Amino acid sequence: MSASAVFILDVKGKPLISRNYKGDIAMSEIEHFMPLLMQREEEGALAPLLSHGRVHFLWIKHSNLYLVATTLKNANASLVYSFLYKTVEVFSEYFKELEEESIRDNFVIVYELLDELMDFGFPQTTDSKILQEYITQQGNKLETAKSRVPPTVTNAVSWRSEGIKYKKNEVFIDVIESVNLLVNANGSVLLSEIVGTIKLKVFLSGMPELRLGLNDRVLFELTGRSKNKSVELEDVKFHQCVRLSRFDNDRTISFIPPDGDFELMSYRLSTQVKPLIWIESVIEKFSHSRVEIMVKAKGQFKKQSVANGVEISVPVPSDADSPKFKTSVGSAKYMPEKNVVIWSIKSFPGGKEYLMRAHFGLPSVEKEEVEGRPPIGVKFEIPYFTVSGIQVRYMKIIEKSGYQALPWVRYITQSGDYQLRTS
């Protein structure tokens, strides 16, 4: 990575915290950052990486703070930004809200954390749960609760502490899929993809090893099984606890988990997805004085499933007024600040069709529509259902004491960027 220094600046560009890891950059170099940023902003050429002479500034903004990493080398930019966002996450865990006041109130602990987060320009311990074992807080003061470094820092398993005990050993697995969809006015699907995550909530004693089995197509091919009910996963990303060499060899997802909540893996499928909630809309204008919008929504998923918290955002003319609604189910609300009608349906069973009619008055002087209408947006969540068909085939929990543990699995499909164009 080779980040030479990390700075935290206030909104005016005044340094609150500066930590020089390599000593190869003069600390005064940070004075060039804010003028450079303002100049680029005025030119409309603002970028996440700014350079002044030999010094490169890689920066992010959070709340009223700038976090800036500096380097003289051609550093791995994605790693630097990952580190900066991880720093924000760790500080937020400690101070709840990361803002100028919390930095000023916790100078000592901020410097302690920066010393542990990075060493000589390279990330070290970035897990807030492990950091909290030996950098502890009492009010705004640093408490030296443990003089020795906990074994988790030097351990091969740095993300899990030893000696964890629970009366009841359980693992909760959430398979969450977001559907990104864009449909044009003719009803053709222009973009369709599924972005999935598998999240775990772990309450297990000791140092258990877990093995997760999915209906992974590559695994089914390796073992000679039928590919009918398998799923081809793309862009798979794992938590650091997963043994990647084992996955590369035989597609086994084997790991010693962190304690509590964490995201085990994410994946993507660029498959053609049938729209789960299909929307049709018709707009009629009457003698330039009023407009009527009819929207039909149809659940195109299996009948035994139910979509919860459905919200359909229907764009309306910016000069519309005097709204009146009729809905076959749910309720409609006009939001003039966004020029949309939100049609809310608490429970939407598969295979059902519902209608919403909206009447609006228009001013006598008609406003010309320069651009086409924005798309209709849909939000929803369908429990006990995955659109890709991914399944957790098994979860094996192995621990030397031999205790029995219960894995619980829950499937959820939800809307991501889900839009249907009407014109």
Q: How far apart are CA 349 and CA 108, in angstroms?
A: 55
User: What is the CATH architecture assignment of 5-132?
Assistant: 2-Layer Sandwich (3.30)
Which amino acid would we find at residue 39?
Q
Whether 90 and 131 have beta carbons less than 8 Å apart is answered as yes
Q: How far apart are CA 245 and CA 51, in angstroms?
A: 39
pTM value > 0.75: no
Lookup: tokens for 176 = 């969450």
Give the model's pLDDT for residue 224: 65
Which amino acid would we find at residue 72?
L
Nearest 5°: phi and psi at 19?
-130, 110
The CATH label, of 2.60.120.10, 2.40.110.10, 2.60.40.1170, 3.20.20.10, for the domain at 277-365+373-383 is 2.60.40.1170
HEC profile for the chain? Answer: CCCCEEEEECCCCCEEEEEECCCCCCHHHHHHHHHHHHHHHHHCCCCCEEEECCEEEEEEEECCEEEEEEECCCCCHHHHHHHHHHHHHHHHHHHCCCCHHHHHHCHHHHHHHHHHHEECCEECCCCHHHHHHHCEEECCEEECCCCCCCHHHHCCCCCCCCCCCCCCCEEEEEEEEEEEEEECCCCCEEEEEEEEEEEEEEECCCCCEEEEEECEHHHHHHCCCCCCCCECCEEEEECCCECHHHHHHHCCEEECCCCEEEEEEEEEECCCCCCCEEEEEEEEEECCCEEEEEEEEEECCCCCCEEEEEEEEEECCCCCEEEEEEECCCEEEEECCCCEEEEEEEEEECCCEEEEEEEEECCCCCCCCCCCCCCEEEEEEEECCCCCCCCEEEEEEECCCCCCCEEEEEEEEEEEEEEECCC
Which amino acid would we find at residue 157?
V
Sheet holding 392-398, edge to edge: 253-255, 209-214, 392-398
Lookup: tokens for 184 = 């044009």
Whether 382 and 423 have beta carbons less than 8 Å apart is answered as no
Give the model's pLDDT for residue 372: 67
Sheet holding 321-327, edge to edge: 277-286, 290-299, 353-361, 321-327
Q: Please list the residue range(s) of the chain that carry CATH number 2.60.40.1170.
A: 170-273+387-420, 277-365+373-383
> Tens place of pLDDT for every residue, the chain, 423 residues?
567 889 999 988 888 988 888 777 777 888 889 999 999 988 888 899 999 888 999 999 998 899 999 998 888 888 899 999 999 999 988 888 888 888 888 888 898 888 888 888 778 888 777 787 777 765 444 343 444 455 555 556 778 888 899 999 999 999 999 999 999 988 899 999 999 999 999 999 999 999 999 988 777 766 666 666 778 888 999 998 999 998 888 888 999 999 999 999 999 998 888 899 999 999 888 777 888 999 999 999 999 999 999 999 999 888 888 899 999 999 999 999 999 999 999 999 999 999 999 999 887 555 555 456 899 999 999 999 999 989 999 999 999 999 999 899 999 999 999 999 976
Give the model's pLDDT for residue 95: 86
Q: Please list the residue range(s) of the chain that carry CATH number 3.30.450.60.
A: 5-132
Whether 386 and 411 have beta carbons less than 8 Å apart is answered as yes
Q: How far apart are CA 221 and CA 8, in angstroms?
A: 51
Lookup: tokens for 59 = 């920066």
Q: How far apart are CA 204 and CA 183, in angstroms?
A: 45
CA–centroid distance for 385 within its chain: 20
Give the model's pLDDT for residue 137: 63
Give the model's pLDDT for residue 192: 93
Which amino acid would we find at residue 225?
R
Give the model's pLDDT for residue 29: 85
Lookup: tokens for 138 = 């009492």
Structure-token match 């080398």, residue found = 73
Q: How far apart are CA 273 and CA 255, in angstroms?
A: 32
- Angstrom CA distances, 392 to 23, 59, 242, 299, 372, stand at 50, 40, 16, 26, 44
Task: State the fold for domain 170-273+387-420.
Answer: Immunoglobulin-like (2.60.40)
